[in-house]
Amino acid sequence: MNNKRTNEALGRASVDEYLNQDKHPVVVVLDDIRSLSNVGSIFRTADAFNVESVALCGITGTPPHRDIQRTALGATESVEWTHEEDITIFLLKKREEGYKLLAVEQCDDSIDPKSIEDSVFPCCVILGNEVNGVSQDVIELCDAVIEIPQQGTKHSLNVTIAGGIVLWELFKRNSG
């Protein structure tokens, strides 16, 4: 029989153990995310995939805030994060440190998430504003643009869903 496991049976790390684990070499960059619930959800996904950190850029809200905490469920305590006023300065610094810059957006020469190469690490995954997406200025800095294939009538996915899909693909490539 397929029985649901209890939280205790899942054997998750404590916050202290989690903070000391080796991280996947991925920085999630949130650029001008308006919804604090989206910010919290992305923290929770970042925790699940054991990423290096989250960079909150521009107008993106920062912890502590009850609307972030409501969806993060404590992940702001386990995932390292910074607030960066200027995304361009931050991304150029990360590039100097050897990070590949990957935007999640719909562009002419975008790639499918399944086409991400293993050599992409370390990388920054840039998620843009819920209405305007990743700005053209930021896209021009990027090494690649990832576009999630869609067949429905809507033009895009919610930023938290798009982030989860891309982080899952990166996680699979760096967990083998």
**CA–CA dist 152, 155 (Å, integer):** 8
**CA–CA dist 18, 21 (Å, integer):** 5
What is the tens place of the pLDDT at every residue in 5-32? 887 888 889 999 999 999 999 999 999 9
pLDDT confidence band for 1 (50 / 70 / 90): confident
Kindly state the average pLDDT of the residues 94-102.
98
Please tell me whether the peptide bond between 64 and the residue prior to it is cis, using omega within 30 degrees of 0: yes
The pTM is what? 0.95
**Structural domains for the chain:** 14-174 (3.40.1280.10)
| Predicted pLDDT of residue 93 | 98
**CA–CA dist 17, 4 (Å, integer):** 25
Q: Three-state SS for 32?
A: coil
What is the tens place of the pLDDT at every residue in 107-117? 999 999 999 99
| Predicted pLDDT of residue 176 | 62
Give yes or no for a contact between 52 and 80, defined as CB atoms under 8 angstroms apart.
Answer: yes
| Predicted pLDDT of residue 101 | 98
Give the DSSP H or E segment for 62: none
pLDDT confidence band for 175 (50 / 70 / 90): confident
What is the tens place of the pLDDT at every residue in 37-95? 999 999 999 999 999 999 999 999 999 999 999 999 999 999 999 999 999 999 999 99
Task: Please provide residue 44's backbone torsions phi and psi, each rounded to the nearest 5 degrees.
Answer: -65, -40
Strand partners, 83: 56
